[in-house]
Amino acid sequence: MGKTPRPRASGAKRGKKPRFGTRPYAKVALGVLALALLLRFTVVYPFRMPSRSMEDTLWAGDCLLVDKLVYAVWGQPGSGDVVVFQFPADPQRIYAKRCIASAGQIVEIRNKVVYVDGHRLPDPPYSKYVDVRILPVEKAPRDNYGPQSIPSGYIFVLGDNRDNSRDSRHWGLLSTDLIVGKGRCVYWSYEPLLRQAAEVGWFETLVRLPARIRWSRIGTWIG
């Protein structure tokens, strides 16, 4: 009778080290990147507040997480929502304002006081006015506007810094097709440089960075 063949020892038992290579790590990295891109284009959008028009709700330099799904699921924005959108005159620029009125409503501003459907709309908790003057409608639409009926597919938006914001009073109603999403929370915040980084220099910019971070703003819930 022939001899029974013996099982061959594995590479580990023969003293050879298993070869893992870089392929598993590359797969993990690609998976994380794909997930990040999926979230970026379908669920959340990172946005940095470029101006002071939403003070004191949002400060210039606040970085927001924007919910891109909420309006796709629940419909058009409601009064009080902080919406992030493409600027109608230049869609490459992204802004944030507060929705005041939506389709089917009538908005009017009389001596800085906002009315929706004939009822006074309370000012947001952190909104402000910085100019005591009341401008007549013949001079500017800042303090007196409307009444304006909101047609289907549009909303009326204002900045919370009411005397220092260019919004629907100046450039018209906002098409809902331009809305990116709803601002949810501040995930990072830093005070912008008064001068351009090129003028300050990279070393001075780096040294000043810790002092510019607004730690108390991080985690602030917008709604």
Active-site amino acid positions: 53, 97
Closest CA to 155 of 112, 104, 119, 223: 104
Residue appearing with tokens 């602030």: 220
Beta 154-158 vs 174-175: how paired, if at all?
A: antiparallel
CB-CB contact of 71 with 77 (8 Å): yes
120 Cβ contact list (under 8 Å, min separation 6):
113, 114
**Helix, coil or strand: residue 47:** strand
Burial grade of 141 (CB within 10 A; 0-12, 13-18, 19 or more): middle
